[in-house]
Amino acid sequence: MTAPLTAPPSGIRFDGVQVAYGDTVVLDGLDLTVEPGEFMALLGPSGSGKTTALRAVGGFVTPRRGRILIGGRDVTDLPPYRRGIGTVVQNYALFPHMKVADNVAFGLKAQKAPREEIAPRVREALEMTGMAGYADRHPRELSGGQQQRVALARALAIRPGVLLLDEPLSALDATLRSDMMGELARLHRELPDVTILYVTHDQVEALTLADRIAVMDAARLQDCGTPQELYRRPRTAFTASFVGTANLLPVTVADGGVDLAGQRLTVPTGDAVPGATATLCVRPHLVGVGAVPAADGNTLRGTLTGIQWRGATHRLTAEISGHRVLADVRELREPPALGAGIDLHFAPGDAVLVPAQLAGGADV
């Protein structure tokens, strides 16, 4: 009987980490703490520095400045194999000439694990990933999803304190991806001491799986919080549009609200200074159709410019004072005609004011 897959709890700390290639800084002073056992997603557009951050933890790139700590220990100068890390990348990177069991045993052998421990730990890792029946196959005899499970088993076999996952689902089709998301959520529950750093540009994966999301853009950390915090209370227009869909409207702060193209809207303004420009963020599913009394919310008058039937919902696009506003509403029995006047409304508490961004508009 082998001990279950466990690892000493070890969080990750990025301490002012800067990575550059030649003159180009691709990770700029990253400060971020991933708590022991936490599932942290690094979310951001292509080229934002997510993979570089992950590779810095793995020891595959060397920071020009700053330190990386794992479990409180400075590992910046340690080679990858001495960091106690399991890694899974997008295209599996299995050895094609080796059987599944040998692929999974690879890290254990490299670590010079005692011979008698290898077979049981390979079995255990294959069981955890639902691949126990495939030990004698070659990777080419497996589907993409199965190969990805083997790659996960290989990473888990060394009982890592930290698991690095770089776009592990992006090569899979939609159904498999959804199944694998369920599997990863289960593994996270079953391995509560393993700290997971998960790189993705897919907000659904990040929102579904992560305990917290670090939002990256242009080599910098833009925001970090729980999925709910980032979705409900984004701190920047970038976060609002990258984590979920957002209506982003350019406004001027006024007393007790904001002005949108001359119309006063009642919204919480926090410590924003009257007269300052800002961006108002309202999620499309929090926008309703019809006018409401001023005491109940804000009414926006405009013209319907688009209507999309999405099964259970309709997505309406309206032009309001020259700005595009989306409303996701329950399927309408009698949808209004394109070009017709339309009133939309939202509750003051459903709007969030963020610093002004240059280009407004919803991101679909």
- Chain residues that interact with ligand ATP, rule: CB under 6 A: 21, 26, 44, 46-52, 201
Please, is 100 exposed, middle or buried when counting C-beta atoms within 10 Å of its C-beta (0-12, 13-18, 19+)? buried
* Pure H helices in the chain: 50-58, 100-110, 115-128, 144-157, 174-190, 203-209, 227-232, 237-242
Shortest distance in whole angstroms from residue 90 CB to ligand ATP = 8
Shortest distance in whole angstroms from residue 156 CB to ligand ATP = 23
Nearer to ligand ATP, 22 or 275 (CB): 22
Structure tokens at 268: 């919480």
Residue with the closest Cβ to ligand ATP? 51
Shortest distance in whole angstroms from residue 220 CB to ligand ATP = 11
Please, is 358 exposed, middle or buried when counting C-beta atoms within 10 Å of its C-beta (0-12, 13-18, 19+)? exposed
Nearer to ligand ATP, 50 or 283 (CB): 50
Nearer to ligand ATP, 90 or 252 (CB): 90
Query: What does the alpha-carbon distance between residue 303 and residue 350 come to, in Å, rounded to a whole number?
Result: 22
* Pure H helices in 29-135: 50-58, 100-110, 115-128
Shortest distance in whole angstroms from residue 27 CB to ligand ATP = 7
Query: What does the alpha-carbon distance between residue 347 and residue 147 come to, in Å, rounded to a whole number?
Result: 48
Shortest distance in whole angstroms from residue 128 CB to ligand ATP = 27
Shortest distance in whole angstroms from residue 58 CB to ligand ATP = 12
Query: What does the alpha-carbon distance between residue 200 and residue 205 come to, in Å, rounded to a whole number?
Result: 7
Nearer to ligand ATP, 121 or 201 (CB): 201
Nearer to ligand ATP, 218 or 276 (CB): 218
Nearer to ligand ATP, 30 or 100 (CB): 30
Query: What does the alpha-carbon distance between residue 7 and residue 194 come to, in Å, rounded to a whole number?
Result: 6
Structure tokens at 54: 């992950």
